[in-house]
Structure 1
Amino acid sequence: MWLKRSFLLTLAGAGALAGLAACSPVAALNALAPSGTHTLTEGVAYGPGPRQRLDIYRPTQAAPAGGWPVVVFFYGGSWNSGDRGDYGFVGEALASRGMLTLVADYRLYPEVRYPDFLRDSAAALAWGLDQAATLGGNPQRVFVMGHSAGAYNAAMLALDPRWLSATGHAPQALAGFIGLAGPYDFLPTTNPDVKPVFFHPDYPPDTQPLQLATRGAPRSFIGAALKDDLVDPQRNSVALAQRLQALGVPVTLRLYERVNHMTLAGAFGRPLRWLAPVLSDVAGFVDNAPVATAAARR
């Protein structure tokens, strides 16, 4: 899990764990997330496997004309760990700002290695594109979003047409890409968890989002901690933002001072929003993004 002991101490320092001292960090954030901002539908299948499931956070506020914007979110964990139920606080946060949010699981190592988790992510995103209107969302305002390894998944779907094309869609069907603390240029790697996922040292070709950026990429929001000991923000987030901007893609880049790799995601939780305005920044990006340039439906 990406949520380490330091995250729990941050929560405690914020005074958020009164009565919740025995909880894990994510349990505390989820316990403190309001339930009145959304309705939750859990465990919806987007594929046949037990890890091919997603949870739907539907805003309780009235939908705008055309439907709510839709955000499909992928969590991190070095492609080795993670569970959609741990990210209810993210789903609640986005839904509270008027975004129909899908939090998706995907298969992990050692069950699979690259690129099978991308195939799962593409299937989940395609499900969101296909079902957006049925759920009350706007199929022309669908965003792919992720944190850490999940931001890599999201970036690959947004920048490399191989993955969505297998589902009958294209990156041009997306209104935007939102990447938080993502690894976009990380090979060769010294991370022992990541090495077997990408067949170290025999890395497959075309695995790095930075090298796959094109002029046709969706407009992008790229956020990171200013100091990140796990994923270098300059090599990854700043470099990808600069590459996309050089190609003429509209990019919003935000580097946050009071967070680290883990608490950047934790700042979506209500007790930690004082750390960084990442929720407000993402919501502003979504609210101001125009509709996708291509039809979202098959």
Structure 2
Amino acid sequence: MEAVSQMKATDIMTILFPTISVFVPLLEPKREEITKARKTFKYGATDRHQLDVYTPSDTSKKHPLLFWVYGGGFVTGERTLAAPIDLAYGNIGVYFAARGFVTIVPDYRLTPGATYPGAAEDLRDALAWTVSHPDELGPTADTASAYFLAHSAGGVHALTLLLEPSVLSAAPKLRAHIKGAIIASAPSHFEPVGHDVGPRDATSMYYGSPEATMAHAPLTLFRALPDEAVKSLPPLALIECERDPEWFKVVIGDFHKALVERGMKAPLILAQGHNHISFSYAISTGQGEGWAEEVVAWIKSL
């Protein structure tokens, strides 16, 4: 983590490759463990409708599901990245499997191939597939208990799954399976100083226009929910990286404030020392895993 602390920039594209270059060698000793643990299944019609599953070795009890939803700015990302970074996001899969979760890493459709709320619908369908295919997950999978751990744009999609009424209304019984969600470094809206949404911005490509982006941002959706719908939401926790871009910190804070104002007790976890990229790449390296242990403790406290 010392190398991350020496990076003065927080802009994602500036720190992206320098940060990855720090952690790729540290993950290499985990190669055999990660690649052997990974099992891949198809949950839908396209190549983007696939998911990887990592199962705990402990067969003495049932284990809840944990969906890791990666980010990528709406336009990039996949469950297993290309070499030399092909151990992400298997590093997260084996880490949480070792802590008692059947960990699932689903792909979802990206823009411009998908528009709002397509990616959230894919998360819904991935959950539906796991619930209806317990044999593929193994005998210790507790399909009645599912949690989402979602980062950056993935956090936007996970919040859309929970907050956009049309998404889960197509499969209303699925809501009961979702026992909690942890949203990490995800924009709850796109209006802070320092971030402009233009017509060619990736968010506008996904939502359809700058106006639609504002209208369907997670904070807007949450504020529009009636009180009874808020009460029916699963427990939420938020994560902020210490070295996130400042506008991310603003929008995370805005969403946390909105949750508290409506009576939701949502912890705000600080991923100490992390920038936006090291947050996920450090897992399974033995460095900077404090936020992940807090997530495990929070889930167990529910």
- 1:125 touches 1:144 (CA, 8 Å); kept in 2? no
- The letter of the residue matching 1:72 is F
How far apart, CA to CA, are the structure 2 residues paired with 1:219 and 1:108?
27
- Alignment of 1:277 with 2:290, yes or no, is yes
1:82 lines up with 2:90 in the alignment: no
State which of 32, 49, 70 in structure 1 corresponds to 2:30.
32
Aligned to 2:178: 174
Relative to structure 1, the CA distance from residue 231 to residue 91 in structure 2 (aligned partners, 3 Å threshold; closer, same or farther) is farther
Structure 2: state its 5+ residue gaps: 1-11, 82-88, 223-229
8 Å Cα contact 2:188/2:217 also seen in 1? yes
**Number of positions where the alignment pairs a residue of Structure 1 with one of Structure 2:** 269
Verify the 8 A CA contact 2:203 2:213 in the aligned structure 1.
Answer: no
Aligned-pair Cα RMSD in Å: 2.7
Q: Distance in 1 between matches of 2:134 and 2:215?
A: 30
Aligned to 1:60: 57
Match of 2:226 in 1: none
**Structure 1 residue 195: Cα displacement:** 2.8
TM-score normalised per structure 2: 0.79
Is 1:216 the counterpart of 2:236? The answer is no
Identity percentage over the alignment?
Answer: 24
1:189: which partner in 2? 197
Structure-2 separation of matches of 1:243 and 1:130: 35
Q: Offset at 1:215?
A: 2.6
The separation in 2 between residues aligned to 1:63 and 1:186, in whole angstroms, is 46
Superposition deviation, residue 194 in structure 1: 2.6
Note if contact 1:71-1:99 (Cα within 8 Å) is conserved in structure 2. yes
Partner of 1:97: 99
In 2, are the aligned partners of 1:215 and 1:244 still within 8 Å (CA)?
no
Give SS of 1:59's match: coil
- Output the CA distance in 2 between the equivalents of 1:51 and 1:63: 34
In 2, Cα distance between the equivalents of 1:102 and 1:161? Answer: 24
Q: 1:59–1:99: 8 Å Cα contact kept in structure 2?
A: yes
Q: Shift of the alpha carbon at 1:170?
A: 4.7
Task: Select which of 30, 38, 41 maps to 2:39.
Answer: 41
SS in 2 for 1:51: coil
Tell me if 1:198 matches 2:197.
no
CA contact (8 A) 2:34 2:90 kept: no
Q: Give the CA deviation at 1:92.
A: 1.0
Compared CA separation, residues 62 and 36, structure 1 to 2 (3 A): farther
Letter in 2 for 1:8: I
Which of residues 275, 278, 281 is equivalent to 1:266? 281
**TM-score, normalised on structure 1?**
0.80
1:139 to 140, 143, 146: 143
| Residue 50 in structure 1 maps to residue 47 in structure 2 | yes
1:246 partnered with 2:261: yes
- Contact 2:37 / 2:94 at 8 angstroms: preserved in 1? no
Where does the alignment leave 5 or more consecutive residues of structure 1 unmatched? 18-27, 290-298
Bigger share in helix: 2
CA contact (8 A) 2:121 2:161 kept: no
**1:10: which partner in 2?**
22
